[in-house]
Amino acid sequence: MTHIHENLQKQRRGLSRVVHAFGYSIQGLKAAMHEPAFKQEAYVAFVLIPLSFYLGSTWVEISLLSGSVIFVLTVELLNTGLESAIDRVGPQWHDLSKRCKDLGSAAVLLSILLCMGIWLTALFLKITQFV
């Protein structure tokens, strides 16, 4: 018989809860680095985020450029979480499982397209500034 353990995080309060939540977040980022899609996007982020400080002229531009990259990573984390939850349910094919995974994938695609649109616009404006 499987024993279901109570979630101790729900009993924590104050600073203890924050410290433990931070630890779980770090564990999640470490786990995500084993996912090929997240790893690729993280490598791109390590290049683009510092580049946003060069390309952006104001704090708003820098925030949009770097924020759009972080948004892609965030959506990828959520998509990976959805896929993990679906995979936990079972390996068999089901239409609703496929739909859930497809919707998560579509969300990642939209976040990437948004990021690309912001970066391409910023690059275009930077290039035409010198012409």
Burial label for 72, CB within 10 Å (0-12, 13-18, 19+), is buried
Which candidate in 6, 35, 61, 76 is catalytic? 76
Inter-CA distances, 24 with 18, 44, 113, 121, Å: 10, 24, 30, 36
**Cβ(55)–Cβ(122) under 8 Å?**
yes
The H or E element spanning position 58 is none
Say which DSSP state 36 is in.
H
Q: Can 76 be counted among the known catalytic residues?
A: yes
Annotated catalytic residues are: 76
